[in-house]
Every structure is written in structure tokens, then in C-alpha cells.
């Protein structure tokens, strides 16, 4: 009930800053294929309905009680989707300097390919000029700065009403894109903004075949998913 009432709010408290932002907008054209690594019991195009605490925990650009939108994270390549999900805080400590991904991270997950149905307008945070345009620094995207990133996402949303999400330089696979879509900015899209490409992706990353295919993708990043005991 509380969540429903929050989503019925018609006035946002943002912007809460006096600075004028000048977001650089970019278009993801219809027909573009994007990738998502997700828990298998979620639909590939399902938005995360969790709201993060304003200060603690949560994802980088998730909605909060002050700005209660749902989020969907994507990447422009299959490798980046896996890297963004699986390589957080991992170091090159395994055999031959590999980064060892615990099997539990892959178990119960899928890698899906989604095609964009309509042109999507996103705020670009890819480079220094993009970040400066919204009066912030590259540290906004660093690990440990998620609370600040969530707040600044809401500030950007308030001053870029046409923006349907954000795109930035992946922190785990540089020069590739990571993206987030805002549920309240794409809900008007008939049939949803994305459609599954069933011929691509890995349905079960925890299966023998799925793990092998995922490790082939992760190999250039010197990372591999560990095999479970008994295999």
C-alpha cells in the first residue's frame, strides 16, 4: 500500500539544487540489441521494483522513496552484461592471475539479449564532458558512491524530463556501455520498450553448457566462473 501511494505522488521534491544542469542526450536507436544478466525467475525485460534506501545499500541508479521509479540495468554487449554483474570487487588472485567468480553468482541466472522497440533518449555520462555538463565528477560512477549516484540521478531526471535513463562507461569493461532505464519514462511504450531475442543469450548460466559459454565470454577479461564440487 505504501509503495502504491508513493507512486501516485504527482509532485517530486527534485530538483533540490540551485545549479542548472545541461545534460547531454543520446539516442539508442530502435533495433539496437542490448544485454542483461539477471536472475532466471525474472522476465528478461522485467524492471526491478525494489526501492533503495536514500543513504545505504542498493544499486547505483535505483529509485528511492523520494523518487520512486523502478530500474532496469542493461549493457551494450554480452561480455559487459556479465562483467557488470559478476566482476564486482574481484581481484586477479586465482591460478594464472584469473579472477575467480563463485559458482553461486552464476547459479540461477540467465543472460538475455533484448532488442529496443523504440528510440530511447538517455543522458550520457560516458566521458568527462558529459559528467561536467551535469556538474559532477568521474568519481560519481565509482564503487562506494552509490548513495550520491542515486541522488544525482534524481537531480538529472528533474532537469531532463525527456530522458528515459542513463548510459555510462562500464566500470568493469571500459569503453563499453552500461545503461539503466527508468520505468516511469518508458511505461507509455506500447508492448514495453524491449523485446526478447530468443535465438541469443544463455538461458541457464549455472548449467554445464551455460557455464562453458559464459567462461568463453569472460576469458578476455581474465575471469572465469568456478565449477561446483563434483563436476
| DSSP secondary structure of 89-119 | T--S-SGGGPEEEPHHHHTTEEEEEEEESS-
Give the total number of structural domains in the chain.
1
pLDDT by 10s per residue, the chain, length 231: 334 444 444 577 999 999 999 999 999 999 999 999 999 999 999 999 999 999 998 999 999 999 999 999 999 999 999 999 999 889 888 778 899 999 999 999 999 999 999 999 999 999 999 999 999 999 999 988 999 999 999 999 999 999 999 999 999 999 999 999 999 999 999 999 999 999 999 999 999 999 999 999 999 999 999 999 888
Put residue 96 in one of left, alpha, beta given phi > 0 → left and psi -120 to 50 → alpha: left
Residue 189 lies inside a defined structural domain of this protein:
yes
Q: What counts of helices (H) and strands (E) characterise the chain?
A: 7, 10
Residue 110 lies in a domain: yes
Burial class, 124, CB count within 10 angstroms (exposed 0-12 / middle 13-18 / buried 19+): buried
Domain range holding 179? 2-225
Give me the CATH number covering residue 60.
Answer: 3.90.175
In a domain, 145, yes or no: yes
Asked if the structure places residue 92 within a domain, the reply is yes
Residue 192 lies inside a defined structural domain of this protein: yes
The span from the CA of 178 to the CA of 170, in Å, is 5
| Within a domain: 113 | yes
pTM of the model: 0.91
> Do the domain assignments include residue 231?
no
Place of cell 565528477: 137
Amino acid at each position: 500500500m505504501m509503495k502504491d501511494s508513493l507512486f501516485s505522488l504527482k509532485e517530486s521534491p527534485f530538483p533540490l539544487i540551485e545549479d542548472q544542469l545541461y545534460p547531454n542526450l543520446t539516442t539508442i536507436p530502435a533495433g539496437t540489441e542490448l544485454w542483461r544478466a539477471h536472475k532466471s525467475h525474472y522476465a528478461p525485460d522485467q524492471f526491478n521494483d525494489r526501492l533503495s534506501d536514500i543513504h545505504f545499500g542498493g544499486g547505483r541508479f535505483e529509485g528511492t522513496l523520494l523518487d520512486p521509479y523502478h530500474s532496469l540495468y542493461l549493457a551494450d554487449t554480452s561480455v559487459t552484461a556479465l562483467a557488470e554483474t559478476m566482476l564486482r570487487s574481484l581481484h586477479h588472485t586465482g591460478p594464472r592471475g584469473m579472477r575467480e567468480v563463485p559458482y553461486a553468482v552464476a547459479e540461477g541466472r540467465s543472460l538475455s539479449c533484448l532488442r529496443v522497440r523504440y528510440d530511447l533518449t538517455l543522458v550520457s555520462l560516458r566521458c568527462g564532458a558529459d559528467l561536467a555538463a551535469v556538474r559532477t565528477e568521474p568519481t560519481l560512477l565509482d564503487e562506494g558512491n552509490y548513495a550520491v549516484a542515486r541522488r544525482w540521478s534524481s537531480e538529472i531526471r528533474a532537469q531532463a524530463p525527456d530522458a528515459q535513463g542513463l548510459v555510462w562507461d562500464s566500470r568493469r569493461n571500459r569503453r563499453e556501455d552500461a545503461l539503466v532505464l527508468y520505468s516511469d519514462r518508458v511505461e507509455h511504450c506500447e508492448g514495453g520498450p524491449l523485446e526478447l531475442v530468443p535465438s541469443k543469450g544463455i538461458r541457464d548460466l549455472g548449467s554445464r553448457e551455460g557455464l562453458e559459454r559464459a567462461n568463453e565470454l569472460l576469458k578476455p577479461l581474465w575471469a572465469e566462473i568456478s565449477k561446483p564440487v563434483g563436476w
